[in-house]
Amino acid sequence: MANVRLTIDGQMVTVPSDTSIIEAAKMIDIEIPALCYDPNLEVVSACRLCIVEIEGSKKLQTACSTRVKEGMVVHTHSEKVVEARKDILQLLLDSHPNDCLTCQKAGECLLQKYAYEYGLKFREHDGAMRPQLLDTSSPYILKDNAKCILCGKCVRTCYEVSERQVLYFADRGYGTKIVCDADQTLEESSCVSCNRCVTVCPVGALIDKRVMGKIRAWEGSSKVVNCKVCQYGCEFEVKSNGKENVAVVAKPPANGRPLCLKGRLTTELLYVDKPEDPYRKVDGKFEKTTWAKALSLVDIMEKVEKLDSVNDEIGEK
Amino acid sequence: MITVERLREIKEKQRPILEARLKEKDIATINEDGSIVLKGEYYERQVRIALKNCGIIDPYNIEDYIAVDGYSALADILMNKSRQEIIDDMKASNLRGRGGAGFPTGRKWEEAFKYDADQKYMICNADEGDPGAFMDRSILENDPHAVLEGMAIGGYAVGASKGFIYVRAEYPLAVKTLRVAIEQARELGILGNNIFGTDFSFDIELRLGSGAFVCGEGTALIESIEGKRGMPRTKVFRTAHKGLWQKPTIINNVETYANVPVIFQKGVDWFRSIGTEKSPGTKVFALVGKVENAGLVEVPMGMPLREIVYDIGGGVQDGKKFKAVQTGGPSGGCIPADLIDTPVDFESLDKIGSIMGSGGMVVMDEETCMVDIARFFLDFTVEESCGKCVPCREGTKRMLEILENIVAGKGEEGDIEKLERLSDTISSASLCGLGQTAANPVVTTIKYFRDEYEAHIKEKKCPAGSCQALVQYFITEKCIGCGACARACPVGCISGDKKERHVIDQDRCIKCGACMEACPPKVSAVVRR
Amino acid sequence: MEFKFDVEKNKDNIEKFKLFIEEHKDMPGALMPVLQEAQNIFGYLPLEILQMISRKLNIPMSEIYGVATFYAQFSFIPKGKYIISVCLGTACYVKGAQQILEEIEAQLGIKAGYTTPDLLFSINSCRCVGDCSKAPVILVNEDVYPKVTKDEVKEILDKYRSEV
């Protein structure tokens, strides 16, 4: 791949010619804000926040979808760009519930972060809001459509695993929403609670319920561990409040890692000091269950005990 | 198998039949050069290329099309011309896309031509959805073979063997006509394998739209044919490079394709002699609204708006004052009376903030409220926004809310500025053409009719007398006290003694206008202001 | 309210539709034509049919639902033979259109936006139809009924019932 040289905010950078502007900027530590962009997912350019000005081009261009070109001169924070970005963010805030005080996502919410950076507040008019569609049916995931900014990351990440593909867009225009299957609840749907969607959601629309109320983004400490259930070794963050480990949070499923409920529960069991009861879905209903059942260990444990007791006998002899 | 000889035979057999039929019906003049023109001043003032066969041939008979030299261009091309020559001719003709932005067709074709691929596609965008536009429908229903021939020529040029026509399901007659046309063309061997005995094979399939205006946008249309939600794609690649199923794809609209065979029949020079240098040829307009002679008109590009509205359209209905013309549908703008001498071509319309679009042309008189027109188009856009990108999905909704407030008499100081700012952001930051042009009706009405916005906001008055919430009904001294108005009033807010002047209680009046309708025409005592 | 899809009654239609899927399932982009055919045959898109499409075309249910809700021509509730439109414009509203609507809903046992189980009637409320002096107005398909009273509702409905 040939290299090209371009200028971003006055800095020269040399990158392979198939690089997008957003990635090229990252290489020289220029962060272009983006809500729908994820290097691991298909580029959709839906949030429009990553717009930049390119000299010689009349229109603003999205940095996620535009490839670099030799001699390109890019301005990522020109006045025109910043003004447009403020308007886009304001439009998102205009439809967003004013709930940062109690939102579990506070502190790691991208909308909150950008609103802070661009100096924006919640709306002052009384125009339409999206209907409150809170899906509390799952013990693992809280889905709050009112907070959804429709970036579609959850849809894309769910779609990547062929046997899942639970989440999708439904309806259109301002009424667009993310639904499970044919507009079912997480419980009724074919969702397997792998939490891929939760890991990519930039706002508080998809929340890991087992962290709620236990610890906030900026509190305590965390360490990254690898799941030991299968060879993928998905990454999890173990959250500690200083006294004890309170939760395990899945990291985004990069490099083809699928994430799964079993892995997350196993990691919870291993690291969390007082893990909550596990649940499993039986005929479209969540039921509280035992850890052995949740991790499909019942038969194995029986057999292990049996074998070990035989071995113990041999050992004793 | 079809051959050039067979084509000539059909023409020689069918032509006299067609001419006899036209003579019998006495609807058209047959000129010495063989061209046929519909009778009547309305038609004679027009220059018809895309519509040239409409109303003349029987759309359900392929032989009728052949009788007017149909498929002769395709035959000639396949026999005598290289693909490169077709591309060169198309570029030289400078035929520009008739569906919206006016991109040069030849350049589009050239791009798809130069990419090597095992499969390429020709798509005909027949998802005409602008409120008030029906030119594509007319072509599809009256001259479907012109579209098929145009597509086949394009297919040969770029190296595509497969075409799709994406037509609105709301046009059942067009769907039926196309089905028959494709079937007849296949039977004759004009579609299918080894057309005219050459190694060129081409077939066309119909796909139906299902009620989504945004599918008129090229990439959304492609998504829809692929069986997905019609949400426009971000343009990492052009569709001529990676389009339908990631293969090089050409999308042109109905009217563009209908022009293609004629250009090759009559030559590039002939085509360029019509219209203007930068916008050669003709354009079909759907002239509607408050105009005397509404209908489809095809005129050379560059004709002043005045000629279209007055000379062909017969001016404004009922002798009312001309106020504005809206061109380009929800993506276009309102052109005020003092710009009525603007020549109608791509550049000139762009300069004054409107667009050619697909050719909708809505005439408005003094009783049309420009704020309400802006609201009407925004309402349409909000309804049809796909919801993918933030500026269009959220921004048009907010603009509509502001406009609704203004026409309801709830406008506030600063609303115009808010609209202008939102327009700016939506235009510059939206993903697709629908969003980028969504604000045009608002931008142009603010630009040319700002005082009307201000009257709504500051004085709570609608100068056109059209916004229901801002008008009031009064009974003048002409009242004869017949009581018809009081009986018609649904809320019973009109009172008065028999044979005495009646009075409307303004606080209770719901401004439905029933009293005005009920007042005997001879009396006309009820007025609206 | 879910509309109950009568599998038994639609047996022939289901067979017809299955045939259509078989003929089209290998066609690229088959989903739209298949959904259009389903809408044509059944008059709406029953969940059972969507599930069948999902299995036969091997497209996730979520995607099918997403596509079906995007396009205005698809509906999830069958349309009745007679569509009753109740004008809720200001004039009709103040003349008691809401009560008329409620009366129709009570008589038919369905809410506005829905269809009776025998597929005879659908109820819609609509914006001003421009007949304010005759308020309240209802339309049954193309027929206009001016100055409707609550007592007349049954009579109007019976007229269409007897036409079947």
Q: Domain holding C138: CATH number?
A: 3.40.30.10
Residue A123 Cα distances to A93, A98, B17, B227, angstroms:
7, 9, 71, 38
ipTM: 0.93
More confident residue, B129 or B401: B401
The runs of H, that is alpha helices, within B83-217 are 83-93, 105-114, 135-142, 144-158, 172-188
Q: Do C106 and C144 belong together in one domain?
A: yes
Q: Do C96 and C155 belong together in one domain?
A: yes
The beta-carbon neighbor of C65 closest among A159, A170, A190 is A170
What's the rounded Cα separation, in Å, for the pair C12 and A145? 40
What's the rounded Cα separation, in Å, for the pair A166 and B179? 38
The burial class, CB within 10 Å (0-12 / 13-18 / 19+), for B399 is: buried
More confident residue, C56 or C128: C56
Query: Mean pLDDT throughout B473-486?
Result: 94
Residues of C in contact with A180 (CB under 8 A): 62
Q: Look up residue A194 and give its two tokens.
A: 């792998």
Boundary-marking domain end, from C70, C91, C119: C70
Task: Return the partners of chain A (3 or more C-beta pairs < 8 Å).
Answer: B, C
Instruction: State the CB neighbour count (10 A cutoff) for residue C116.
Output: 17
The beta-carbon neighbor of B386 closest among A80, A149, A173 is A173
More confident residue, C155 or C163: C155
Q: What is the pTM of this model?
A: 0.91
Residues of B in contact with A65 (CB under 8 A): 234-236
Q: Is C65 at the interface with chain A, CB within 8 A?
A: yes
Topology of domain A3-77, CATH: Ubiquitin-like (UB roll) (3.10.20)
pLDDT digits (tens, 9 = 90+) for A60-103: 999 999 999 999 999 999 999 999 999 999 999 999 999 999 99
C75, amino acid identity: S
The beta-carbon neighbor of A181 closest among C65, C69, C70 is C65
What is the distance in angstroms between the Cα of A47 and the nearest Cα belonging to chain B? Answer: 5
Give pLDDT, residue B132.
Answer: 72
CB pairs under 8 A between B and C: 73
What's the rounded Cα separation, in Å, for the pair A14 and C111? 64
What's the rounded Cα separation, in Å, for the pair B52 and B50? 6
With respect to CATH, is domain A212-276 assigned 2.60.120.960?
no
Give pLDDT, residue B423.
Answer: 97
Instruction: Determine, for residues C65 and A190 on separate chains, whether the beta-carbon distance falls below 8 Å.
Output: no
Q: Are strands B282-289 and B360-365 parallel, antiparallel or unpaired?
A: parallel
pLDDT digits (tens, 9 = 90+) for C57-98: 999 999 999 999 999 889 888 888 899 999 887 778 878 898
Closest listed residue to residue B327, CA positions, set B59, B152, B518, B100: B100
Instruction: Determine, for residues C50 and A182 on separate chains, whether the beta-carbon distance falls below 8 Å.
Output: yes
Give pLDDT, residue B352.
Answer: 92
- Main-chain phi, psi angles of A68, to 5 degrees: -70, 155
Tell me the domain boundaries of chain A: 3-77, 212-276, 280-317
Instruction: Determine, for residues C47 and A170 on separate chains, whether the beta-carbon distance falls below 8 Å.
Output: no
What is the distance in angstroms between the Cα of C59 and the nearest Cα belonging to chain A? Answer: 9
Answer yes or no: are the C-beta atoms of B196 and B3 closer than 8 Å.
Answer: yes
Residues of A in contact with B234 (CB under 8 A): 43-45, 62, 64-65
What's the rounded Cα separation, in Å, for the pair B231 and A102? 34
Residue C3 confidence class, pLDDT cut points 50, 70, 90: low
Domain presence at residue C76: no
Boundary-marking domain end, from C70, C90, C115: C70
Q: Do C92 and C139 belong together in one domain?
A: yes
Q: Is the peptide bond before C117 cis (omega within 30 degrees of 0)?
A: no
Domain presence at residue C4: no
Instruction: Determine, for residues B384 and A169 on separate chains, whether the beta-carbon distance falls below 8 Å.
Output: no
Domain presence at residue C1: no
Q: Is residue B474 scored above 60 in pLDDT?
A: yes
Domain presence at residue C130: yes
Residue A176 confidence class, pLDDT cut points 50, 70, 90: very high
Instruction: Determine, for residues C63 and A181 on separate chains, whether the beta-carbon distance falls below 8 Å.
Output: no
Instruction: Determine, for residues C35 and B230 on separate chains, whether the beta-carbon distance falls below 8 Å.
Output: no
What's the rounded Cα separation, in Å, for the pair B224 and C148? 44
Domain presence at residue C6: no
Residues of C in contact with A181 (CB under 8 A): 60-62, 65
Query: Mean pLDDT throughout B332-341?
Result: 94
**Chain C residue nearest residue A166, CA to CA:** C62
Q: Are strands A11-16 and A3-8 parallel, antiparallel or unpaired?
A: antiparallel
Kindly state the helix (H) or strand (E) to which residue A267 belongs, with its residue range: helix A261-271
- The count of C-alpha atoms lying within 13 angstroms of the C-alpha of A162, restricted to the half-sphere facing its C-beta, is 2
Q: Do C50 and C116 belong together in one domain?
A: no
Q: Is residue B443 scored above 70 in pLDDT?
A: yes
pLDDT digits (tens, 9 = 90+) for A225-281: 999 999 899 999 999 999 999 999 999 987 778 899 999 999 999 999 999 999 999
pLDDT digits (tens, 9 = 90+) for B2-45: 999 999 999 999 999 999 999 999 999 999 988 999 999 889 88
What is the distance in angstroms between the Cα of B406 and the nearest Cα belonging to chain A? Answer: 14
Domain presence at residue C16: yes
What is the distance in angstroms between the Cα of A169 and the nearest Cα belonging to chain B? Answer: 9
Domain presence at residue C77: no
Q: Is residue A158 scored above 90 in pLDDT?
A: yes
Boundary-marking domain end, from C70, C91, C107: C70
Instruction: Determine, for residues A88 and B391 on separate chains, whether the beta-carbon distance falls below 8 Å.
Output: yes
The burial class, CB within 10 Å (0-12 / 13-18 / 19+), for A246 is: buried
Instruction: Determine, for residues A62 and B385 on separate chains, whether the beta-carbon distance falls below 8 Å.
Output: no
Q: Do C30 and C91 belong together in one domain?
A: no
Chain A interface test: which of B403, B425, B431 (most A C-beta within 10 Å): B425
To the nearest 10 degrees (0 to 180), the angle between helices B172-188 and B135-142 is 40
Instruction: Determine, for residues B210 and C133 on separate chains, whether the beta-carbon distance falls below 8 Å.
Output: no
The burial class, CB within 10 Å (0-12 / 13-18 / 19+), for C2 is: exposed
Beta strands in chain A (DSSP E): 3-8, 11-16, 51-54, 61-62, 73-75, 134-135, 141-144, 167-170, 177-180, 206-208, 221-226, 235-240, 245-250, 279-282, 285-288
Residue C117 Cα distances to A87, C4, C79, C104, angstroms:
48, 8, 10, 15
Residues in chain C: 164
Domain presence at residue C43: yes
Residue B365 confidence class, pLDDT cut points 50, 70, 90: very high
CB pairs under 8 A between A and B: 100
Task: Return the partners of chain C (3 or more C-beta pairs < 8 Å).
Answer: A, B
Which residue matches tokens 């201000």? B454
Go through the domains of chain B in sequence order and give each one's CATH number. Answer: 4-272 (3.40.50.11540), 283-365 (3.10.20.600), 386-459 (1.20.1440.230), 472-528 (3.30.70.20)
Q: What total number of domains does chain C contain?
A: 2
CB-based contacts of C148, cutoff 8 Å, min separation 6: C100, C136, C137, C138, C156
Give pLDDT, residue C2.
Answer: 56
Chain C residues at the B interface, defined by Cβ less than 8 Å, are: 28-33, 35-36, 59, 63, 66-67, 70-74, 89-92, 94-95, 132-133, 135
Q: Is C55 at the interface with chain A, CB within 8 A?
A: no
Residue A317 confidence class, pLDDT cut points 50, 70, 90: low
Percent of chain B residues past pLDDT 70, beyond the cut: 100
What is the distance in angstroms between the Cα of A184 and the nearest Cα belonging to chain C? Answer: 10
Chain B interface test: which of A20, A47, A172 (most B C-beta within 10 Å): A172
Q: Do C99 and C159 belong together in one domain?
A: yes
What's the rounded Cα separation, in Å, for the pair A262 and A278? 10
The beta-carbon neighbor of C133 closest among B208, B211, B490 is B490
Residue A18 confidence class, pLDDT cut points 50, 70, 90: very high
pLDDT digits (tens, 9 = 90+) for B265-281: 999 999 999 999 999 99
Per DSSP, chain B holds a count of helices (H) and strands (E) of 22, 15
Chain A interface test: which of B392, B428, B431, B437 (most A C-beta within 10 Å): B428
pLDDT digits (tens, 9 = 90+) for B404-416: 999 999 999 999 9
Kindly report the average pLDDT of chain B as a whole number. Answer: 94
* Residue C127, domain extent: 82-163
Residue C1 confidence class, pLDDT cut points 50, 70, 90: very low
Q: Look up residue B207 and give its two tokens.
A: 């796909």
Q: Do C27 and C87 belong together in one domain?
A: no
Q: Is B66 at the interface with chain A, CB within 8 A?
A: no
